[in-house]
A = this chain, B = another copy of it.
Amino acid sequence: MAGALPRSPLAPETFPDLPQIDGVTFAAAEAGIKYSGRLDVMLAICAPGTSIAGVFTKSATRAAPVLDCQAKLGGEQDAGAAILVNAGNANAFTGRNGVDAVAAVVDATARATGLPADRVFTASTGVIGEPLPHGRITAHLSNLVTQQSADAIADAASAIMTTDTYSKGATQTIDVDGQPVTLAGIAKGSGMIAPDMATMLVYIFTDGQMTQSALQDLVRDTSDATFNCITVDSDTSTSDSLIVAATGASGVDVTGNTAFAEALYAVMLDLAHQVVRDGEGATKFVEIEVTGCTDKTAAKTHGLSIANSPLVKTAIAGEDPNWGRVVMAVGKSGAPAERDTLSIWFGETLVAENGWVSPTYREEDAAAHMKQDHIYIRVDCGMGDASATVWTCDLTHGYIEINADYRS
C-alpha cells in the first residue's frame, strides 16, 4: 500500500535538509515485514548521557511496544539509548505474543548495541492484530548497527511510513550564548489521527542538554499545544508515540531556555502540520481558531468539534462556505456557547455575528476563500478571553478510497 498513493497535493515540495545531531546516528533496512522493496525498519542510537522524554497514546487498548516504552521513561541516562521502529505491523492487540515479540526485539537490540534492555525504545506501526514477525527485524540488527551514520535521518523518516505519501522532517537551530543548539525531527502519520497525544510516531533529536524530568515536562506541554491540536479523522491510534532525545553533546544546558522551548515548539508544530497535510485524501489544510471563550479547554473543545465534524469537513471539500455547519458543530460540542454572541469568519470575511448572518456578508467573498488550499475559520464565542487553534483537513472521496479498501 505504501507508495501506491499519489503524493498529497498539500505536501511540502521536498524533504528538508536535516542537519546532523551530535550524539545520534541512524540506519534503516528493508526487512520485508509487510512491504517489499522499501525501507521498513530504522534504528537510531543515542550517545551516553542522552535524556529520553516521551508522550504516548492514551488509548485503553495500547499496543505492547507503547506500554514497554512508557515503563522505561525516566531511566538511567548514562547508558545512551536506542530507538527501533518498524512499519507494516503495529504489534497491537496481539496478546501475550505481542509482549513476547517486544521482548525479543528489545533483547536482540540490546545485545547488538551493547545497551541495557531498559534503554531500548521500540515502536511498531501498521496492521493491528497480526503477530509481529520479529525475526525479520532482528535478522537485520547487526547490519543496522554497523551501518549507523549521522547522515541517515532521511532514511529513518522513510522507513517509518505507512500510508504516508511523503516522509516528514523538520529542524531548528538556535544560538545560546554563541553556542549553536540544533534540533531535528521526523514523523509519520496520515490517518487514525486525533488527539489524545502524539497520535502518530514522532522522533525528535537535539544536542541540547537537559535532565529527563525537565525535558519530560517541556515535551508534554509542547505536545499539548501541537500534536494534541491536530485531527484528521477523530480516530486515535493504539500505537502512537512521541520521543524526544536530548544527547547533550553540544554541552549547552537548555533547561528553562525560552529559545529552546520555542524551537522545540516550532519543530513539533511543523511536523504536526505535515501530518495534517498528509491526511488521508486531504485537499485542504484547515486552521480553526476559536476565540472569546470562557477558558482554553472550552476553546479547544469547540475547535475540535468543528475540526471533527463530517459535515464541516465535507463542506470544505466542496468549497462551500457553509457556516451553518460551523454553528451546528459549536452547538453540539458540549462546551459553553451562546448562539447570539457567536461570530464566524471564513478567511478575512466576517460571515455571521449576533446570532445571524452579518449584514456586510457577501457569499462570493467567503466562496473565494474556500477555493484556497489553506482554509482559515475563526469563531469568536463572545464570552471571554480564552482561545485555541486546531488544525485539520477536509473529508473527501480520497479518504473513503483509502480506508474502505485498505487494511492498514
Which residues from chain A sit less than 8 Å from chain B, CB to CB? 57, 59-62, 90, 92-98, 127-130, 191-192, 194, 196, 233-238, 308-311, 314-315, 317-318, 320, 322-325, 327-333, 336-340, 342, 352, 354-357, 395-397, 399-400, 403-408
What are 6 A-B pairs at a CB distance below 8 A? Answer: A94-B355, A194-B332, A235-B328, A238-B331, A315-B404, A400-B400
A356–B59 contact, CB under 8 A?
A: no
Known: A233-B310, A309-B235. Contact between A328 and B59, CB under 8 A? Answer: yes
A327 to chain B minimum Cβ distance, whole angstroms, is: 5
B320–A399 contact, CB under 8 A?
A: no
Q: Which residues of B contact A194 (CB under 8 A)?
A: 332
A97–B356 contact, CB under 8 A?
A: yes
A256 to chain B minimum Cβ distance, whole angstroms, is: 34
A365 to chain B minimum Cβ distance, whole angstroms, is: 15
A328–B95 contact, CB under 8 A?
A: no
Q: Quick one: which of B237, B324, B400, B407 contacts A320, CB cutoff 8 A?
A: B407
Q: Quick one: which of B192, B352, B396 contacts A404, CB cutoff 8 A?
A: B396
Q: Quick one: which of B60, B128, B331, B400 contacts A61, CB cutoff 8 A?
A: B331
A295 to chain B minimum Cβ distance, whole angstroms, is: 15
A92–B311 contact, CB under 8 A?
A: no
The CA of A339 and the CA of B130, in the complex, are separated in Å by: 15
Known: A93-B324, A128-B325, A325-B128. Contact between A191 and B311, CB under 8 A? Answer: yes
The CA of A324 and the CA of B191, in the complex, are separated in Å by: 14
A238 to chain B minimum Cβ distance, whole angstroms, is: 5
A61–B314 contact, CB under 8 A?
A: no
Q: Which residue of B lies closest to A338 (CB)?
A: B60
A328–B233 contact, CB under 8 A?
A: no
Q: Quick one: which of B128, B318, B354 contacts A324, CB cutoff 8 A?
A: B128
Q: Which residues of B contact A59 (CB under 8 A)?
A: 328, 331-332
The CA of A92 and the CA of B127, in the complex, are separated in Å by: 44
Q: Which residues of B contact A396 (CB under 8 A)?
A: 400, 404
A355–B320 contact, CB under 8 A?
A: no
B318–A61 contact, CB under 8 A?
A: no
B357–A129 contact, CB under 8 A?
A: yes
The CA of A29 and the CA of B395, in the complex, are separated in Å by: 37
Q: Which residues of B contact A60 (CB under 8 A)?
A: 330-333, 336-339
The CA of A352 and the CA of B399, in the complex, are separated in Å by: 27
The CA of A395 and the CA of B400, in the complex, are separated in Å by: 8
A339 to chain B minimum Cβ distance, whole angstroms, is: 4
Per CB-CB distance, the 6 closest pairs between chain A and chain B, nearest first, are A128-B324, A95-B356, A61-B331, A318-B404, A59-B331, A314-B403
A327–B404 contact, CB under 8 A?
A: no
The CA of A96 and the CA of B325, in the complex, are separated in Å by: 20
B61–A337 contact, CB under 8 A?
A: yes
B310–A234 contact, CB under 8 A?
A: yes
A404–B342 contact, CB under 8 A?
A: no
B331–A129 contact, CB under 8 A?
A: no
The CA of A130 and the CA of B315, in the complex, are separated in Å by: 17
B314–A352 contact, CB under 8 A?
A: no
B235–A311 contact, CB under 8 A?
A: yes
A318–B405 contact, CB under 8 A?
A: yes
Q: Quick one: which of B57, B322, B339 contacts A62, CB cutoff 8 A?
A: B339
A236–B331 contact, CB under 8 A?
A: yes
Q: Which residues of B contact A130 (CB under 8 A)?
A: 357
Q: Which residues of B contact A332 (CB under 8 A)?
A: 59-60, 194, 196, 235-236
